[in-house]
Amino acid sequence: MSPELYSEPDQRGLIIYVGQDKAGHWLVQDSGKSLEGRFVSRSAALSFAEAERQIYHASIEIAAAPLVPLIPFRPLAADERAHRRAA
């Protein structure tokens, strides 16, 4: 049998980070880089993070360093297209 079948799972699981970017926007991101939300306040970001934590059985951490947005918040240039899955 292959030893790869018995590898240890990641004990930490999914982590949801709450923090601000360099511009001061409140962001929520997950460690899998598949979730991102932008919020007007810390409390709104924490409320969203808590709801997502319950759904995905994740843990929440406050980011020690500024978060880097996965989706840019600048206006699109004339030759750019929006992400299809962006909300």
Tens-level pLDDT at each residue, the chain (87 residues):
444 544 444 556 899 999 999 999 999 999 999 999 999 999 999 999 999 999 999 999 999 999 999 987 777 777 877 666 555
User: What per-residue confidence (pLDDT) applies to 85?
Assistant: 56
Domain positions in the chain: 14-62
Is residue 52 within 8 A of residue 21, CB to CB? The reply is no
pLDDT score at 79: 80
> Which tokens is 24 given?
């001061």
Q: What is the pLDDT of residue 11?
A: 58
Whole-model pTM: value is 0.72
Q: Which residues lie below 8 Å from residue 37, measured CB to CB, with a gap of 6+?
A: 27, 28, 45, 48
